[in-house]
Amino acid sequence: MALSKPLVLTGMMGSGKTTVGKALARQLGVPFIDLDEEIEREQQATIRDIFSKYGETAFRAIEKQKIASLLPKGPAVIATGGGAVMDESTRVLLQECAITVWLKADVETLFKRIKGDETRPLLTGDDPKQTLRRILTQREPFYAQARWVVDNSGRSAETAVEEVLRALKNDGK
């Protein structure tokens, strides 16, 4: 099965975008691109440092530009940052130029996967689980605009990969 355009994974931090994305890329024989890693490499700074020095708005502008530069390069599996879909023009670009998949996971699963991860700039504060819940509530309507939704709550990465591959096969893309 061959991709005709990039397959873009969206979803919250801890939803499995990197793990599932790497496995999908292997199965499909295409490159895997972790958007946050690409940004860190180009900016020579961690996401956390970019947030603290320049703010979320500046980070989202960098993220938007990077997505726009990657999509025309052809088939690949791309794992976006969790907030990439918050920008309307980015969502339009993804809908037009990519096959989008929302890796959906409930708050309990997400929190279990990311608990203690100090690299998550949006989860600093007194109640990271409540912050996670609030962010998920804000983003869900935008994630739901993905072509496919794959529930990855408490499931193995292999199961999510199989579901995405099945959707690709049935869709003919």
pTM above 0.75, yes or no: yes
pLDDT, mean of residues 92-107: 94
Q: What is the pLDDT of residues 25-51, one digit of tens each?
A: 999 999 999 999 999 999 999 988 998
- CB contact set of 44 (below 8 Å; sequence gap of 6+): none
7-160: CATH architecture:
3-Layer(aba) Sandwich (3.40)
pLDDT at 117: 60
- pLDDT averaged over every residue in the chain: 90
- Is the pLDDT confidence value at 24 over 60? yes
**Helix, strand, or coil (residue 100):** strand
